[in-house]
Structure 1
Amino acid sequence: MESLEARVVELEVKAAFQEDLLETLNEIVTRQEQQIDLLQKQLKALYQQMQSQGQSGASDGNPRHEIPPHY
């Protein structure tokens, strides 16, 4: 009978560890999702900035036509 009780206790311990691991992984995935959303917003803003610079004629996108800041 002790063997059965020990097996049940072992299963309960494993289940508790798995629950903790799932909670940790869920937190990590949530944090990564927030980071991805932020990066997408930043990329979109950068893309829009580049588009507006291209339309305003500030630069044709060729670095040879840009004057370095030290001149």
Structure 2
Amino acid sequence: MDKHTAIDQRLMDLEIKASFTEDLVEQLNQTIFRQQEQIDALLREVSQLRIQTPDGGSGSFRSLRDELPPHY
């Protein structure tokens, strides 16, 4: 293999790697976009749940362990 052929091969290899990298970056961008949409939806849902709670979501957190069962 002469020097010109080796350089052409290296260039082609780099172009292939760049193409795969571009595809991967696009997939990651789409994933991040979808995840941000899900986070935004969850934040809206939590906000709505806080509004629906009797104390407006500002009360102290109570664990189910703090609640006595009805037979006590």
* TM-score for both structures, normalised by structure 1: 0.76
* Identity value in percent: 14
- Structure 2 residue corresponding to 1:38, chosen from 34, 41, 45: 34
The residue type equivalent to 2:9 in the other structure is V
- Residue 67 of structure 1 and its aligned partner are, at CA, apart by 4.7
CA distance in 1, matches of 2:45, 2:37: 12
Report the AA paired with residue 17 of structure 2.
Answer: L
Compare the two structures and name the one with the higher helix fraction: 1
Give how far 1:55 is off: 1.1
Q: Answer yes or no: is 1:60 the counterpart of 2:70.
A: no
Runs in 1 of length 4+ with deviation above 3 angstroms? none
Higher mean C-alpha deviation, range 11-20 or range 55-64: 55-64
Deviation at 1:63, TM superposition (A): 4.4
TM-score for both structures, normalised by structure 2: 0.75
Letter in 2 for 1:13: Q
For 2:51 and 2:32, how far apart are their aligned partners in 1?
A: 28
Indicate if the aligned counterparts of 2:50 and 2:57 stay in contact, CA closer than 8 A.
Answer: yes
What is the distance in 2 between the residues matched to 1:25 and 1:31?
10
- Where does the alignment leave 5 or more consecutive residues of structure 2 unmatched? none
Q: What is the count of residue pairs matched by the alignment?
A: 64
